[in-house]
Structure 1
Amino acid sequence: METIVIVGGGAGGLELATRLGDTVGVSGHARVVLVDRWPGHFWKPMLHTVAAGSCDPQADELSFSAQAAEHDFEFVQGEMLCMDRARQTITLSPQDGSDGACRVLAYDKLVLALGSVTSFYGVPGAAEHALTLDSVADAEVFRHRFFATCHHAGAAPVHVVIVGGGATGVELAAELSGSTRALALLQNIRITVMERGERLLPQMDAMQAQRAERHLRSLGVAVHTNTSVAAVSAGAVTDACGQQHPAHLTLWAAGVEAPQLCATLGLSANHQKKILVDASLRSTSDSRVYALGDCASYICPLKGEAPPRAQVAHQQAMFLAALLAGGSANATFRYHDQGSLVSLGQQAAVGLLTRAATGL
């Protein structure tokens, strides 16, 4: 029986495991194994709500083990450390409570769905002093520090600087403003969004970006566009003009790259460590290895590289589920942009959806 191993239980990896389990898994044509370092899945685009204290992640987390039992795939908890392409194996971190030995898992086909991590672009002090939103654990660290800082500050203002005016930065600024307003803390909070581009939300059209900026300003959020960050320290963010912006907390949301692991696997990758894949999402270095989502560099015909968005991972998971279940080996993936929505708190949002997304 063929073994298909999927590493990474994010939006794309979990959907792929579920779809394959419901087809080749239940029929007995293949063994489907999902590997992830965490016991459950939380929808990453909602991490800003955890950071702002308006969502309980435990209530909305999906157990990988429960999903596996219901959809005929296996779940193995552990972190992938390396791979042996010649032997077609991956090595996983030791299991909790074991003798400390690493585990080896063999595959016939391997799908890497490792997601992305924050990229600091070499800005001095950013990695040391800025918080991120790569995981539930990161979001909870931000939340704990934020409310602890507010508690100890008393009547003094608390300055929060969010670096990056994309979806994550904008959504966090709006959600944080809403949660502090609900807790009667708004008069003590000074939220600043710094974006190096000409406007917020560069992935959207200018009209939607302007609406988002107006809404943030109406919430009391300071917005600085055309502002690059030169350095981050424990108490301030310094822009390229030398101006210091006070910051009790700095959240870095200015870009992503593939995890460092991707650069150590011996597979061809780009400058962001993303694994180069062909039109069928196979690694250009190994036809038995596939990659999807944020860790893959797929070039859309006439459009350039597919963006790091959940809908890309979703479409790629659907494509690979059909391909690995016996579809044509010559099938080619095509990404269709269905638009996007950006939350501006509990009562507002901006965005555009295509006809394909709305069904109209």
Structure 2
Amino acid sequence: MSFSAQPHRVVIVGGGVAGLEVASTLGRLARGRRRFEVTLVDRDSAHIWKPMLHTIAAGTSDISQQQTTYVAQARAAGFTYQPGEVAGLDRTAHALLLAALYAPDGRLLIPARRLAYDTLVMSIGSRANDFGTPGVAEHCFKIDSRLQADAFNQEIRLRTLQCLSQGGMLSVGIVGGGATGVELAAELVQLVESSVAYGAHGLAERMKITLIESGPRLLAAFPEDISAATQARLEALGIRVLTNARVSQADEAGYVLADGSRIDATLKVWAAGVKAADVLANLDGLEVNRANQLVVRPSLQTTLDPHVFAMGDCASCTPEGAAQPLPPTAQVAHQQARHLIRYLPDMILSGRSVPAFAYRDMGALVSLGAYDAYGSLGQYGLFKGVTFRGRLAQLSHTMLYRSHQARLHGFWRGSLLWLVDCLNRRLRATIRLD
């Protein structure tokens, strides 16, 4: 590969688990060198570890303590942050098209612009898929992002105050029995218990939570014993769990099921299905699947353009010899990020090709807040297929987050953040009260 005086421009779109880890690590490598430079693009201003969003939504975690602002992280890690939302792609000119950004009151903040790249990495994650179900867009909350989780938290605090001051019931209906729906349901129980401890007497009797799953069991991606144990634990906490219940419509009062029955819900959350952003379907002809995911080769390069990579939930990657694409999970996104961190610098600096990505199924974890946690060791290692629960599973879930913080901030700063969180749990309110 020949080099010009201009540094190789690496543009990463999406500051989620995978995108921010790649930007932070490559930014540190690029610091002090003139061979390449790293830019991160995201429409939001801060990052929160996606498996923690349900705690932000419930208010059992403080959003200001758990978020990493992109501007501060860019300064610490040596990359450039550009606020923006993808509007399109010009592959011939190697330019990413960014839409204009507006303030909530309609004022123009940043005009539409073009951002040049030599290597582009798409990592914009995914969102819940309502499958075109009538009424979902108008009446249901989603918690796919930091801002969505915060919006739900603000609404549930207002509804709780109304419930306590005006009487009546507060019913919450969650559609989707995957990890997000299950963990949110448990976290809301914890919210109620903590609220009662702070003086919200009678809230436990007035708040009802229903979890609705269209399939035959919760946590379909987990072993059956974990699914059964999780449902039993949720029901013991007072949550109504419905399986084999497909929602055909959402309205202001709740949900209508396919069999014609109704589920009343003052607050409605849609946490079912996975779909990549619609903009990916129109990225200058790049190949996508039915879920709008960019189809990539085992090297994580898109099938039609070797200069464009994709990873995480927005990528459809079928490993060599596999029959099905990898699932859109945080574990896959993390491993793909580590793969690009390892091989992109060699590609940029030495012209070497990126080898095929090899996925290792390390298992899965689901946390029911303070009540329980469950895990499986997956299909890799000595104890493959083993399931476990309780303190070991809770510790494992915690360590995933702390490892993510260490990768972003370094071992010592990550350890200090953990210490601060431990101190805050003792010194501050256990739920958001502002």
Which one of the candidate residues 52, 55, 59 is aligned to 1:49?
55
Contact 2:50 2:145 in 1 (8 A): yes
Contact 1:24 1:325 in 2 (8 A): no
RMSD: 2.0
Which one of the candidate residues 57, 74, 77 is aligned to 1:68?
74
- Map of 1:209-288 to 2, 5 A cutoff? 209-265=227-283, 266-288=285-307
CA distance in 1, matches of 2:309, 2:32: 22
Residue identity matched to 1:115: G
Residue identity matched to 2:366: V
Deviations 1:145-201 (A, max 9, x none): 222222223442211110000000000000001111221221111100010111000
Query: Secondary structure, in 3 states, of the residue corresponding to 1:261?
Result: helix
Which one of the candidate residues 21, 26, 51 is aligned to 1:20?
26
1:347: which partner in 2? 371
CA distance in 1, matches of 2:240, 2:100: 46
Alignment CA distance shift 1:357-1:57 (3 Å) = farther
Which one of the candidate residues 308, 328, 331 is aligned to 1:308?
328
Contact 1:26 1:72 in 2 (8 A): no
Contact 1:111 1:290 in 2 (8 A): yes
Contact 1:93 1:103 in 2 (8 A): yes
Q: Compare 253-262 and 139-148 and name the one that shifted more.
A: 139-148
1:166: which partner in 2? 178
CA distance in 2, matches of 1:56, 1:215: 26
Which one of the candidate residues 182, 190, 201 is aligned to 1:178?
190
Q: Compare 7-16 and 349-358 and name the one that shifted more.
A: 349-358
Q: Compare 239-248 and 294-303 and name the one that shifted more.
A: 294-303
- Map of 1:86-105 to 2, 5 A cutoff? 86-94=92-100, 101-105=111-115
| 1:323 is the counterpart of 2:347 | no
2:155: which partner in 1? 145
Contact 1:130 1:250 in 2 (8 A): yes
Residue 136 of structure 1: CA displacement?
A: 1.6
Percent identical residues: 39
Alignment CA distance shift 1:99-1:136 (3 Å) = closer
Q: Compare 268-277 and 86-95 and name the one that shifted more.
A: 86-95
Greater helix fraction, Structure 1 or Structure 2: 2
Query: Secondary structure, in 3 states, of the residue corresponding to 1:47?
Result: helix
Contact 1:25 1:32 in 2 (8 A): no
Q: Gaps spanning 5+ residues in structure 1: where? A: none
Deviations 1:307-338 (A, max 9, x none): 11111111111111222111541510011111
Alignment CA distance shift 1:20-1:203 (3 Å) = same
The alignment covers a number of residue pairs equal to 360
CA distance in 1, matches of 2:44, 2:379: 36
Alignment CA distance shift 1:39-1:156 (3 Å) = same
Q: Gaps spanning 5+ residues in structure 2: where? A: 1-6, 197-202, 385-434
1:79: which partner in 2? 85
2:119: which partner in 1? 109
CA distance in 1, matches of 2:33, 2:359: 29
Residue 24 of structure 1: CA displacement?
A: 3.7
CA distance in 2, matches of 1:95, 1:346: 40
1:189: which partner in 2? 207
Query: Secondary structure, in 3 states, of the residue corresponding to 1:165?
Result: coil
